[in-house]
Structure 1
Amino acid sequence: MSDPISRLDQFRADTPGAPMKSAAEVRQRGDQIRRRRRTLVAAGAVAVAAVVAGPIIFLSAGFGERAIEPQPAPAPTPSQTPSTVAPSPSGSAAASDLTRANLPTEDDLVAEDPYPQWVLEQTFDGEGRGDHNECLPALADAGALATFRRDFIPEAGQEYADSAGTLKAVVAEFGSADEAEKARAELSDAASSCTAVDGAEVAGSLPVEGGVVTRGDIVVVTYLPEGTDTNARREVATAVVTVKDRLVVITRRRGVQDYVSPTALQTSAVNAAYRLVGSSPPPASTSSSATSSSSSSSSASAPAAVLSDAHLVVAGSLPGLPMEGESSAVWQQVAPQPTPTLYCQGAWLSSLKAAESVSREFRLENGGSQIGKVNVTVLEFAEKEGADAAFETVHGWLDACPASMSDAKLFTARPVEAIEIGTTPEIDRAAQTLAEYAADCGGEGCDSTWYDHQTVAQLGTRLVLVTHAEAGGPCPPTRACPPEEASDYTEWDNRVAQTVEATVARAFQDLP
C-alpha cells in the first residue's frame, strides 16, 4: 500500500514554484514586502505635497507670461520631428516640449512689394498681452498645452513702413494630431466668420500647402473700423497651419485700398511650419526675390508686363491750390493708403478682372491740415470686351455711389455725365461725377466737406480711374463764397481738368 504523504510530496514537486521554501525563507520574504510598502507610502506623501505646492510654484514663476527669457531646448536636426510624450498609464496629460525656438524668425517672413522687411518687436510666453487676432478665441480655450507668441513690425524709417501694418505669430502644441486638426478647423471657421467684429466681410482665401505642412489655409476679412468718417477699410489676414500635433497662427493687419492675394503670407506660413518641428525653411523660400525668380523661370512663356510706374502721373504735373495771402502748397506722393481709388467705388478693383494694374496717391497739406487728395489707378485688360465691361461697372458705381458710409454724411452733387478730355491719343470715352461728403473733424461737429471729382476714362483695353478731391466748407473751393456766378467755378474746374488730363495723357502715352 502506498504512503499518502509521499504522494502529497510528489504533488508539491509538480507545482510551479516548487519545492516549497523553508520557514526562514518565508519570514525573510515578509520583511521585504513590509519594507516595500513603507517606501511606497513615503513616495505617495511626497507626491501629495507636490500637488499642494504646485499652484504656488506656478504663480511664483509667472505662469503664462514670464519676464525672464526661458532657456530653449536644443532644436532637433532638420531630419528629426518632435516627439510627443506619451500619456502615462494613469491617464495624466502629456507634457509639451514646445519652446520659443519654434516661433518664426524675421528671416522666415516675406514682405510684399513695396513694403519693407518685417523685424522683431517682442516675444511672449503664452498668448501675450491683448488679442493677437480680433476674430479668434484664445488658443488655450481650444485645448493647447503650451503657447508662445512673437510680434513683428515693418522696419522703421523705410518707405511705406507706416502703411505696411503689423504681423503676429502664435505657436501651440496639442495632445495629439487629431486635437490639433480639430483646433485648426475651428480657428479657420472663426477667422472667416469673425463674429466679434461688426460688418466683417470675407475678401478672399488661399490654401497653405507644401513642405512639412499637414494642413492649412489663409482667410482674409475686411471691415470698417468704428468711429471713422472715411470709407477706409481694415484687413485681417489669418493663416492657420498644422504640423502633426502642433499649430501656428499668423495674423497680418493693415489698411487696404484693394484686395491682393496674400501669397507672401502663404510663403511665410510654410516657413513658419518648418520652425514648428525645429527645422530651418529651405533657402529658396525665405526671400521674396528667390520666390520671384523661381516663379518667373517656371513661367518663361508668360507675356511681359505692359504697365509700369511710367504710366502714372507725377506730383509736378498736378495743379496747385492757390490760397489767398499764401503761396500754393505742394503735392506730395504718399505710401499706399487704406482708401479706395474712387470714393464711390462699389467693390475691390480686383473684381474688374484686369490683367494688370498700377496705382499712385498724392496728398496736399497746408498748416498741418489736409486740403487735397489725388488717387490714380491704371488698369490693363487682356481683351477690349473686358475693358468695356469694366467701364460700365465703374460708370454704375459713379452713378449710384454705393460707398459704405452713412447717407447723412454723403451726397452726390451732380449726376454722372460724359466728359471730353483733350489728350493725344484721343480717348474712346470718359465719365465723371462730383460727390460731397463730410470731413473727419476729430469727433467734433464742423462744416468741413470734401468735394470729390471722380473720373473713369477708356482707350481700347485700358482704363484709368482718377480722384481729385479738395477740402471746403461751408462753401465749395470756389472763388466766391457763396458762389453766385458761373465764373466763380472757373479756377476750380480748371484744376480738376488739369489733373484729369495729366493723368490720362500719362496712362495712355504708349497707345496708338
Structure 2
Amino acid sequence: MSDPISRLDQFRADTPGAPMKSAAEVRRRGDQIRRRRRTLVAAGAVAVAAVVAGPIIFLSAGFGERAIEPQPAPAPSQTPSTVAPSPSGSAPASDLTRANLPTEDDLVAEDPYPQWVLEQTYDGEGRGDHNECLPALADAGALATFRRDFIAEAGQEYADSAGTLKAVVAEFGSADEAEKARAELSDAASSCSAVDGAEVAGSLPVEGGVVTRGDIDVVTYLPEDTDTNARREVATAVVAVEDRLVVITRRRGVQDYVSPTSLQTSAVNAAYRLVGSSPPPASTSSSASSSSSSSSSATAPAAVLSDAHLVVAGSLPGLPMEGESSAVWQQVAPQPTPTLYCQGAWLSSLKAAESVSREFRLENGGSQIGKVNVTVLEFAEQKGADAAFDTVHGWLDACPASMADAKLFTARPVEAIEIGTTPEIDRAAQTLAEYAADCGGEGCDATWYDHQTVAQLGTRLVLVTHAEAGGPCPPTRACPPEEASDYTEWDNRVDQTVEATVDRAFQDLP
C-alpha cells in the first residue's frame, strides 16, 4: 500500500542525525584519510538487528574504519576516468573506486515495480545530468566521482512506469568538506530551484549502519509535455559517510496522488558500499537465527502482522447493478493512491512497528465503480497507537491532504461509530468525503462517495476506505434519495466492508 503524496513541512521526521565530531577528531580523521589504510569494524551486529526489524530503517549509528579489501569492481567501461585535480600539491589522491557504487541487490524496488537492473556505469558523473535539481559534485569540491544508472527489469509489469534510478558516489578532502557538500546538496534537492514550478512532496532522514548523516527529499513538477497527464517526480537521497557522499536519484512520472518515493533502505545499503563493505542481510531465516543465538548478534523480533490480517475479496459486498446480480471485487497490485483520501501525511509518519496493506477495485463495463483500501498498523506500545489514532482522526476531520481541491467537500463530520466484531474494539471513527472523479479531462458529474474509517484495539490500528462511484446522486436506491430507507443498502455495504476488515485484522487479539 502506498502512502499519499505529502507536501507539508510536518512530514519531515524529527529524528536527529548522528552527532558531529569535535574539531580534533575531524583533524585526526583527516590524517587517517591521507594514509588510506582503513577497516570497517563496528555497526555489524546492531545494524543487522535493526535492518530486519522493518522496511523503514532507523539503525543505531556505529562506524569504525573502512574495509581494506573492497568488493570486486564491475568490468570497466570505455568511459575515461575523471578525477578532479588536487587543489594543492599536498592534497591526497582519492582511492574511491567503482566498487563503492551500489549494486542491483542493494536497491529496493517497492511493489508493484520490478527489480532494478544495471544499465551503465561511468567513471565520473557520466553523460547528462543525473539530477536536474543538483549542481555537479565536482563543483562542490569532490576529488573523484563514479556513477551507476539502473532501470526496471525489461518486459516486467509496471517496468515502463518505474522510471530510472541513478547513484553517484564522491570523495572529498575531509569529513567537514563532505558534510558541507551534503548540506548544500540536500538544500538544493529540497527546493529544486533549478526547475520552474517544483513543489515539495516530502522529506525524511536517513540513519543507520555506517551513515554519518543523510536526507531524502522529494519534489514534483509539471513537465513541458503536459499531454502526459502526470507530474515529474524527483526523489533525492544525499548520504554522507565521513569524507564520502552517495547521491541516489529516482525519477519517474506520477499522477497527482502517488505517494513519494522512499529510498531509505537503498540509501543505507549504498552507504555500506561507500566504505567498501557489504550491507547486512535484509532478513534472517529461522535456522540462521537459531544458529546465531549463542553469538553476540541480536536478532529481530518475530513479525506480528501478516497477510492473514487482511480482508479477502470474497468478504466484500457486491454492488448491485442494473441487469446484473452484482459486480465482483478484485484484489489488485498496490496502487499509487493513499489508503485514506484525507490522509495528511505518509503513513510512515505514524511510526508503526509493522504494517500490511491490500487494495481492491471493482469495475463494470471497463469503468471503475468501487475502491477498497486497507492498512493494518501494529505499534510497539499502546501510547504510540493512541497517538496515531488521534492523528488519523484529525486527518478525517480536516481532510488536509493536498489533493483536497475546490471540488472536494466532506459530506459529514467525522464521528464515532460502533463496529460489531469480536473482540470488541476500543474505538473507531468514520467520515464520508465526496470528490470529483477523473473524467479524462472532460467535464462530467461523476463523483466518488468515500467512507473512511479508523479503528483501534490496543496496539493495533486499521484504516479502511470504502468508495463507490456515483453522480449526480450518491449510490442510493433512489435518485435523488428522498427517504432514509433509500440509504439502507449503501450503508449496509459500507458496514459489511468495515466489519469484515476489522474482524480479520483483530482476529488474533484477546
Question: Normalised by the size of structure 2, how large is the TM-score?
Answer: 0.66
What secondary structure does 2:394 align onto?
Answer: helix
Deviation track 1:314-353 (CA, whole Å, cap 9, x = no partner) reads 1111112222124633322223333221111223333334
Task: Give yes or no for contact 1:257–1:337 (8 Å, CA) kept in 2.
Answer: no
Superposition deviation, residue 185 in structure 1: 3.5
Superposition deviation, residue 473 in structure 1: 1.5
Superposition deviation, residue 167 in structure 1: 1.8
Q: How does 1:49-68 map to 2 (within 5 A)?
A: none
More deviation in 375-384 or 410-419? Answer: 375-384
Superposition deviation, residue 11 in structure 1: 89
What secondary structure does 2:321 align onto?
Answer: coil
Q: In structure 2, do the counterparts of structure 1 residues 358 and 215 end up closer, same or farther at CA, with 3 Å as the change threshold?
A: closer
The structure where helix makes up a greater share of residues is: 1
Task: Give yes or no for contact 2:342–2:400 (8 Å, CA) kept in 1.
Answer: yes
Q: In structure 2, do the counterparts of structure 1 residues 302 and 473 end up closer, same or farther at CA, with 3 Å as the change threshold?
A: same
CA–CA distance in structure 1, aligned partners of residues 70 and 88 of structure 2: 30
Superposition deviation, residue 254 in structure 1: 6.7
Superposition deviation, residue 504 in structure 1: 1.0
Task: Give yes or no for contact 1:258–1:340 (8 Å, CA) kept in 2.
Answer: no
Deviation track 1:376-421 (CA, whole Å, cap 9, x = no partner) reads 1122334434433333332222222222135421101122223232
What secondary structure does 1:340 align onto?
Answer: coil
Q: In structure 2, do the counterparts of structure 1 residues 309 and 474 end up closer, same or farther at CA, with 3 Å as the change threshold?
A: same
Task: Give yes or no for contact 1:225–1:233 (8 Å, CA) kept in 2.
Answer: yes
Task: Give yes or no for contact 1:259–1:348 (8 Å, CA) kept in 2.
Answer: no
Superposition deviation, residue 15 in structure 1: 77
1:256 to 254, 257, 281: 254
Q: In structure 2, do the counterparts of structure 1 residues 289 and 480 end up closer, same or farther at CA, with 3 Å as the change threshold?
A: farther
Q: In structure 2, do the counterparts of structure 1 residues 230 and 373 end up closer, same or farther at CA, with 3 Å as the change threshold?
A: farther
Task: Give yes or no for contact 1:177–1:244 (8 Å, CA) kept in 2.
Answer: yes
Superposition deviation, residue 464 in structure 1: 1.4
Q: In structure 2, do the counterparts of structure 1 residues 352 and 97 end up closer, same or farther at CA, with 3 Å as the change threshold?
A: closer
CA–CA distance in structure 1, aligned partners of residues 29 and 259 of structure 2: 76
Task: Give yes or no for contact 1:450–1:470 (8 Å, CA) kept in 2.
Answer: yes
Q: In structure 2, do the counterparts of structure 1 residues 352 and 66 end up closer, same or farther at CA, with 3 Å as the change threshold?
A: closer
Task: Give yes or no for contact 1:233–1:339 (8 Å, CA) kept in 2.
Answer: no
CA–CA distance in structure 2, aligned partners of residues 292 and 134 of structure 1: 48
Q: In structure 2, do the counterparts of structure 1 residues 468 and 272 end up closer, same or farther at CA, with 3 Å as the change threshold?
A: closer
Q: In structure 2, do the counterparts of structure 1 residues 330 and 119 end up closer, same or farther at CA, with 3 Å as the change threshold?
A: farther
CA–CA distance in structure 1, aligned partners of residues 467 and 285 of structure 2: 39
CA–CA distance in structure 1, aligned partners of residues 11 and 313 of structure 2: 112
Superposition deviation, residue 172 in structure 1: 5.6
What secondary structure does 2:38 align onto?
Answer: helix
CA–CA distance in structure 2, aligned partners of residues 493 and 16 of structure 1: 46
CA–CA distance in structure 2, aligned partners of residues 422 and 41 of structure 1: 55
Task: Give yes or no for contact 2:222–2:231 (8 Å, CA) kept in 1.
Answer: yes
Task: Give yes or no for contact 2:43–2:209 (8 Å, CA) kept in 1.
Answer: no
Task: Give yes or no for contact 1:171–1:247 (8 Å, CA) kept in 2.
Answer: yes
Q: In structure 2, do the counterparts of structure 1 residues 459 and 482 end up closer, same or farther at CA, with 3 Å as the change threshold?
A: same
Superposition deviation, residue 35 in structure 1: 45
Identity of aligned residues (%): 96
More deviation in 226-235 or 58-67? Answer: 58-67
The number of aligned residues is: 510
Q: In structure 2, do the counterparts of structure 1 residues 505 and 134 end up closer, same or farther at CA, with 3 Å as the change threshold?
A: farther
More deviation in 273-282 or 436-445? Answer: 273-282
Deviation track 1:234-269 (CA, whole Å, cap 9, x = no partner) reads 875423356898754211357999999999955644
More deviation in 40-49 or 467-476? Answer: 40-49
Q: In structure 2, do the counterparts of structure 1 residues 95 and 478 end up closer, same or farther at CA, with 3 Å as the change threshold?
A: same
Deviation track 1:85-111 (CA, whole Å, cap 9, x = no partner) reads 896999999999999787543244355
CA–CA distance in structure 2, aligned partners of residues 7 and 240 of structure 1: 19
Tell me which of the two structures has the higher relative contact order, counting C-alpha pairs closer than 8 angstroms and 6 or more residues apart.
2
More deviation in 360-369 or 460-469? Answer: 360-369
Q: In structure 2, do the counterparts of structure 1 residues 59 and 500 end up closer, same or farther at CA, with 3 Å as the change threshold?
A: closer
Task: Give yes or no for contact 1:111–1:264 (8 Å, CA) kept in 2.
Answer: no
Q: In structure 2, do the counterparts of structure 1 residues 82 and 242 end up closer, same or farther at CA, with 3 Å as the change threshold?
A: farther
Superposition deviation, residue 313 in structure 1: 0.5
Task: Give yes or no for contact 1:163–1:337 (8 Å, CA) kept in 2.
Answer: no
Superposition deviation, residue 463 in structure 1: 2.1
Gaps of 5+ in 1: none
Task: Give yes or no for contact 2:152–2:159 (8 Å, CA) kept in 1.
Answer: yes
Q: In structure 2, do the counterparts of structure 1 residues 199 and 437 end up closer, same or farther at CA, with 3 Å as the change threshold?
A: farther
Higher-Rg member (1/2): 1
Deviation track 1:261-282 (CA, whole Å, cap 9, x = no partner) reads 9999556446656877999889
More deviation in 234-243 or 381-390? Answer: 234-243
Q: In structure 2, do the counterparts of structure 1 residues 489 and 68 end up closer, same or farther at CA, with 3 Å as the change threshold?
A: farther
Task: Give yes or no for contact 2:6–2:202 (8 Å, CA) kept in 1.
Answer: no
Superposition deviation, residue 438 in structure 1: 0.8
What secondary structure does 2:319 align onto?
Answer: coil
Task: Give yes or no for contact 2:70–2:276 (8 Å, CA) kept in 1.
Answer: no
2:436 to 435, 438, 448: 438
Superposition deviation, residue 478 in structure 1: 2.0
Superposition deviation, residue 502 in structure 1: 0.6
Q: How does 1:4-23 map to 2 (within 5 A)?
A: none
Q: In structure 2, do the counterparts of structure 1 residues 429 and 405 end up closer, same or farther at CA, with 3 Å as the change threshold?
A: same
Superposition deviation, residue 440 in structure 1: 1.7
CA–CA distance in structure 1, aligned partners of residues 387 and 59 of structure 2: 64
Task: Give yes or no for contact 1:209–1:215 (8 Å, CA) kept in 2.
Answer: yes
